[in-house]
Copies of this chain bind each other. A is one copy, B any other.
Amino acid sequence: MIASARLVQQACSQCALAHLCLPYGLDSDEIARLESQIIPDISIKAGHDLFVQGDPLAAFYAITEGGFKTAVFDTDGLEQIMGFYFAGDLLGLDALGDETHRCTATAIENGTVCRLPFDQIDNLLTQLPSLRRRLMRLMSRALTDEEHQLLTLGRKSSEGRVATVLLDFSQRLAMRNLDSSIVPLNMKRTDLANYLGMRVETISRVLGRFQSKGILNSTRKEVEIHDWLALRAYAGSGAWVADQ
């Protein structure tokens, strides 16, 4: 599982996830200056928040173990889950604009994080253009991810949505050199349903249909992908809208 993989050393320079994280693209000297500022190995229990929507930006967090969800809450209390994040992902970039968090980040299982105090990072930013570029790049990636999600919610059927999220998780496993054919679903079904704009029962049924077609094998905690082509077909055009 992504969750239980312990791929991380104390310091960035020895961290197996550095290529996904903030240090990527920095030289060893710059990494040294960065890692002197971070507080590694903070453990977070399932259900606890790293930060809450509206909080002033105090720190970024690099996930070293476990999984998190981010969500925004409407004025009416309507919740929309924006994304799921796993070891190697960086949380808190959402607050870069006005130094206030625009979403809430909650652990979906026990895990550990590195804390990167914002003051210190901000200082480093003025000194290290490469770090500034890296941060910009990560922020830009966040925008791209949200756009993909908009496309998923706007244009795809329930089968297309489920196929898409499975392939997305799978690809993120591959980026971590983990088995991409076994996709853990550590979040609750309600969270997944909320993220995909559908209901838990529908998720259940779609997974059931995929399983009976031999596309995958589904249990409560994970999905094993068998027929990649079929799944990609569902994710691609598995929609009521090939036209318009």
Q: Which residues of A contact B (CB under 8 A)?
A: 72, 74-76, 78-80, 82, 94, 96-98, 102-103, 136-137, 139-144, 146-147, 149-151, 153-155, 190, 193-197, 199, 236-237, 239, 241-242, 244
CB contacts (< 8 Å) of A155 on chain B: these are 74, 78, 80, 197
Judging by beta carbons under 8 Å apart, are A78 and B237 in contact? yes
Total identical chains: 2
Judging by beta carbons under 8 Å apart, are B72 and A197 in contact? no
Judging by beta carbons under 8 Å apart, are B139 and A150 in contact? no
Judging by beta carbons under 8 Å apart, are B75 and A197 in contact? no
If A80-B147, A97-B143, A149-B150 are given as contacts, then 19 extra A-B residue pairs at C-beta distance below 8 Å, sorted by A number, are A72-B151, A74-B151, A76-B236, A78-B236, A78-B237, A78-B242, A80-B155, A96-B136, A97-B140, A98-B137, A102-B144, A102-B147, A103-B147, A143-B143, A143-B146, A146-B150, A154-B194, A155-B197, A199-B244
Q: In the docked arrangement, what's the CA distance between A134 and B193, Å?
A: 36
By secondary structure, the A interface counts as helix
Of all chain B residues, the one with the shortest Cβ separation from A95 is B140
Which of B79, B150, B190 has a CB less than 8 Å from the CB of A82?
Answer: B150
Rounded to whole Å, the gap between the CB of A243 and the closest CB of chain B is 10
Q: In the docked arrangement, what's the CA distance between A153 and B150, Å?
A: 7
Q: Which of A75, A80, A139, A144 has the most CB of B within 10 A?
A: A80
CB contacts (< 8 Å) of A150 on chain B: these are 80, 82, 146, 149-150, 153
Which of B97, B103, B242 has a CB less than 8 Å from the CB of A136?
Answer: B97
CB contacts (< 8 Å) of A80 on chain B: these are 147, 150-151, 154-155
Q: In the docked arrangement, what's the CA distance between A143 and B150, Å?
A: 12
| Known A-B contacts A146-B146, A236-B74; A244 and B136 likewise in contact (beta carbons under 8 Å) | no
Rounded to whole Å, the gap between the CB of A90 and the closest CB of chain B is 14
CB contacts (< 8 Å) of A193 on chain B: these are 244
Q: In the docked arrangement, what's the CA distance between A144 and B72, Å?
A: 10
Rounded to whole Å, the gap between the CB of A78 and the closest CB of chain B is 6
